[in-house]
Amino acid sequence: MVEKSQKVSVGRLLAWNIRPISFGTVTILMGYLSMFCTDSLKMSPVLVGTLLMASKIFDGLTDLIAGWIVDNTNTKLGKGRPYELCLIGTWVCTYALFASNVNWSTTAKSIWLLVMYTLVWSIFGTMMNAAEAPYIIRAFGDPMAITKVSAYGGVFITLGCMVVSIILPMLIGKYAPVPGGWQKIVLMLAVPLLILGLLRFIFIKEEFNPNENSEEERVGLKDIVNALKTNKYVWLLAIVSMIPQMMQNLLERHSLKVV
C-alpha cells in the first residue's frame, strides 16, 4: 500500500518545478548581461568582467550565512517556504539591472551593476537555494516522493529552460536595438514567470516535520567560524567553486574584446 506522503499529484509536481524554470530564466538572461553592458551602456568589457568577478567572491560569504539563517528559521509558514518570496526580489533586481541608463556616469553604472547583480545572486538567489532542501523535505516528507519530484522535475525544468533559450535570442534580436528594448524583454518574461513561480509558495505547504520526535540540533555562527578555521576542505570547495566562475568571466571579457 502506498503511503499518503509518497503520492505526488501532477498539480503539485508542476507547482513545485515552475519556480526553478522562473529562476532558470533569470540565469539565462544574465548570460546576456555583458552584451547589454557593453553594447547598450557602453561600459568597458574589462570593467564589467571585474565587477562580476568581485560579486562572485562576495557570493561565497553569503552562502555560509544563508545556511545559518535558514537553519534557524521557524515560522508559521515553515522553515524553507518563506524564502520562496525571494523570487520577487530576484526579478525586481533583474529588471533594475537592465533598466540602467547609458547617460549615467561610469561610477554610477558600476555601482548599480555590482549592487543589483549581487542582490540577485548573493542574496535572493542564495537564500532560495539554501532553503530548497529543508523545504522539499517538509513539503513531501517521504524520500520516494522527493525522488519522484526531483526526477520528473529535472526533465520538466530542462524542457522549460530550453524553450526560454530558444525564445530569448529572438526577443533580443527584435527589441534590444530599440530604446528601452531590454526592459521590455525582461518585463515580458518577468510578469508571467514571477506569477507562475510563486505557485510553489502559494500551494505547496510544509506538511511534514522530520524532527518532531527529536530535538533539532541547530548550527550557530560559532560553528561556522570553527568550520572555517579547522576544516581545510571548506576552503578547497570554495576555491573549486570559484575557479569556473573566474574562468567564465575571463572568457566573457576576452570574447567582448574580440568583438
Mean pLDDT of the 135-144 span: 92
Of 115-119, 164-168, 221-225, where does mean pLDDT reach its minimum? 221-225
Binning pLDDT at 50, 70 and 90, where does residue 215 land?
Answer: low
Is 188 part of any domain? yes
| Cell numbers given for 131 | 532553503
Q: Quick check: is 150 in a domain?
A: yes
Percent of the chain with pLDDT over 90: 63
Arithmetic mean of pLDDT over the chain: 85
Euclidean distance between CA atoms 24 and 31, whole angstroms: 11
573566474: which residue's cell? Answer: 246
Q: Say what the pLDDT of residue 223 is.
A: 63
Would you say residue 259 has pLDDT above 50? no
3-state secondary structure 87-123: HHHHHHHHHHHHCCCCCCCHHHHHHHHHHHHHHHHHH
Grid cell at residue 187: 518585463
Distance CA 167, CA 182 (A): 14
Phi-psi region of 180 (alpha: psi -120 to 50; beta: other; left: phi over 0): left
pTM higher than 0.85:
no
Residue 3 pLDDT greater than 50, yes or no: no
62-71, 102-111, 238-247, 250-259: least confidently modelled range: 250-259
- pLDDT above 70 covers a percentage of the chain that reads 79
Pick from 7, 190, 6: nearest CA to 88: 190
Whether pLDDT at 5 is above 80: no
Lowest average pLDDT, out of 57-61, 161-165, 191-195, 234-238, goes to 234-238
Higher-confidence position of 258 and 218: 218
- Give the chain's domain count: 1
pLDDT at 188: 96
Asked if residue 77 belongs to a domain, the reply is yes
**Listed range (28-42, 60-74, 83-97, 191-205) with the worst mean pLDDT:** 60-74
Model confidence at 181: pLDDT above 90 = yes
Q: Does 1 reside within a domain? A: no
Residue 4 counted as domain residue: no
Question: What is the domain extent for residue 62?
Answer: 10-208+219-258
Please calculate the CA angle 170-175-181 and round it to the nearest 5 degrees.
Answer: 140
Task: For residue 242, give the nearest of 24, 61, 28 by alpha carbon.
Answer: 61
54 falls in which pLDDT band (50, 70, 90)? confident
**Residue 213, in any domain of the structure:** no
The CATH number that applies at residue 108 is 1.20.1250.20
Listed range (94-108, 213-227, 243-257) with the worst mean pLDDT: 243-257
